[in-house]
Every structure is written in structure tokens, then in C-alpha cells.
Structure 1
């Protein structure tokens, strides 16, 4: 497990960041921080989306800790779900910033996580 963690440390951090995004929504649930009311983030902080974040984080965590090289499609599944989740939340945060006319830390952070995932995929393929 330790050898796999050294080799897949990047994906371990992405799994923790995905869990962190879910925790962010759990902590801020019903706090009324999303303006305007009824925005897309009001829907994305509902339990099904938080559960989806937990599932995607678990997929990445399993990949980073165990040797799953014999499962042919596991890495594309993991990278695809991570990219989709972070792209979806980046678009939601950016849309909320656009509508409110403010710039938030969440949109910047989600952009950098998404950028690092795509960059890692492009670097490893090249």
C-alpha cells in the first residue's frame, strides 16, 4: 500500500480534495451563503450530489492506495469521474460568480484542481 501511495500520491490528494468539497457543502448546508437564492449551487449542495462526491472521492482513494493495474478501465473511470465532478462544480462556482458580480475563492480553487487533473493526464500521456 505504501508503494502505491508513493506512486499515486497525486491521485490521493485529489481524492482528499474531492472529500473536502463534499465537506464544504455539508458544513455550509442551509447557511444561506449562495446568492442569489435558487442558484445552481443550491441544487448542487443537496445530498445526492454530496453522495456523488463521496463516491468519486472513494474511487480515487481506492486507486491511489491499492494496485489496480489489472483492472483495465479503472484509471480512465477514476480520471473521468474526477474531471467531470470538478468541471461541473467549477462551472457552477464560475456561474455563481458571474451572476453575483463577485469573485470567490471556491471558483479559483476548483479551477486549479481541474487544471492540475487535466495537466497530469496530458503530461502522463506525452
Structure 2
């Protein structure tokens, strides 16, 4: 298992980053400090979407730990990770535009995670 983590450390980190996004929304929702009442993030911080984030993070974590090589698992994992981070990047950008902010930290963070995934897929 440790050999697989060393080999798939990029995907292991992306799984942890996806979990961190879910934890971010849980913390923001539970403390009541969210400021996106009328943006796409108002829908994406609901429990079904947080659960979907955890599922996608688990899919990536399973690949990173056990290096699954059948049933197009890697393609499914990279596709779901890319989709999730693209949706949240666009939602953060829409929220920033509605609040008249250029780009907030979550938007920048999701952009760099998304670019890292696309670069890893393209030049792996």
C-alpha cells in the first residue's frame, strides 16, 4: 500500500483536497458564516453535494491506495475529479462576480487544483 501511495501521491493529494473542500463547506455551513445566499454555492453546500464530494474523494483515495487497474477506474476517477473541481471553480467564480470581488481564495485554490488535474491527465 505504501508503494502505491508513493507512486500515486498526486492522486492521493487530490483525494485529500477533495475531502478538504467538503470539510470547508461543512464548517462554513455549521458556523453560519457563509455569504452566498443567492449564488450557485447556496445549492452546492447542501448535504447531498457534500456527500458527493466525499464519494469522489473516496474514489480517488481508493485508486491512490490500491492502484486499481480494471473497469476504466482511472478514467472514471479523473473524470469525476475534474468535473467536481470544475463545477466548484465556476461556482466560486459566479459567487465572486455576484459579490463584486475579483477572485477569492477558494476560487484561486479550486483553479489551481483544476489546472493541476488537467496537467497531470494531459502529460502523465
TM-score, length basis structure 2: 0.94
Unaligned runs of 5+ in 1: none
Contact 2:22 2:54 in 1 (8 A): yes
- Partner of 1:105 in structure 2? 105
TM-score, length basis structure 1: 0.93
Instruction: Say whether 1:34 aligns with 2:35.
Output: yes
Unaligned runs of 5+ in 2: none
Aligned pairs, number = 122
How far apart are 1:32 and its partner, in Å?
A: 4.2
| Mapping 1:27-106, distance limit 5 Å | 27-29=27-29, 31-35=32-36, 37-69=37-69, 71-102=70-101, 103-106=103-106
